[in-house]
Amino acid sequence: MKAYVFPGQGAQYVGMGKDVYDNNPMAKELFEKANEILGFRITDLMFEGTDEDLKQTKVTQPAIFLHSVILAKTLGNNFQPEMVAGHSLGEFSALVAAGALSFEDGLKLVFQRAMAMQKACEIKPSTMAAIVGLDDTTVEEVCNAIDDVVVPANYNCPGQLVISGTFEGIDKACELLKEKGAKRALKLPVGGAFHSPLMEPARTELAEAINNTKFSIPVCPIYQNVDAKPQTDPENIKTNLISQLTAPVRWTQTVQNMIANGGDHFTEIGPGKVLQGLIKKVDRKMATEGISQLQ
């Protein structure tokens, strides 16, 4: 079965999407529509901005979404997904690509999400750290034992779990996890503690926007971050999408479930190759490929 996956924040690079814009009239039209919806020329920042420009959450999230979704649309009839999933922000790209959300509504929600997350980060400065070389249970136990906000945020692949929390909580956790034998406990250059209780103000804000948006039945099941299970019911999809901001991304479990349900060829659509690497770490025999440029 053909599975399509969509990347999240961190995959951006200057120049992303320019070849698609220049060589496909439909893509150019969608990019220009996005500039209008957002109220600024995001294409200028994507194609000719700086790394710093692209790192701003309000730019990063819509930029990655646009690159992924517009690439999927340029595939036309060659895009025949039998299952989809997206990592964090990528879940919105997956929903639009699979027809559960319109392009315009998806972009508006992504931009609202980015702005809400930015605000939540300013309320309580916080961060994330990648823990490599320990099993999930050990990381969970250490997080639970710390008297501060620190939680598992991204179950990326076996032996790689990202934690999220206050600066103090993350520092304590990194120290303890190194003592437990972590190969690495590395703080990440991110704006805040995504997928943790510290995102509650953003979740509340986004919940209203999601509840007021029309969702349709997707053309195939979407495996959502919150429970790693296939969903097609619009109400369930909405509920999971709202929970996603404060709940962990269960990517390891998502890939395992997609494989168990017949997924045998994974295509990553959008910038970078991060998800292909993570899928190989779940099952190194799995066939993977990426589409990051116009085909």
- Active-site residues, by number, are 88, 195
Distance CA 295, CA 293 (A): 6
User: Which residues 6+ apart lie within 8 Å of 208 measured at CB?
Assistant: none
Q: Tell me if 12 sits within 8 A of 63, measured CB to CB.
A: yes
At which residue do the structure tokens 């709940």 appear? 247
User: Which residues 6+ apart lie within 8 Å of 269 measured at CB?
Assistant: 4, 5, 6, 68, 71, 72, 93, 97, 290, 291, 292
Question: Measuring CA to CA, how many Å separate 245 from each of 3, 186, 195?
Answer: 24, 22, 5
Q: What is the largest CA-CA distance in the chain?
A: 56
Cα of 34 vs its chain's centroid, Å? 19
Q: Tell me if 173 sits within 8 A of 294, measured CB to CB.
A: no
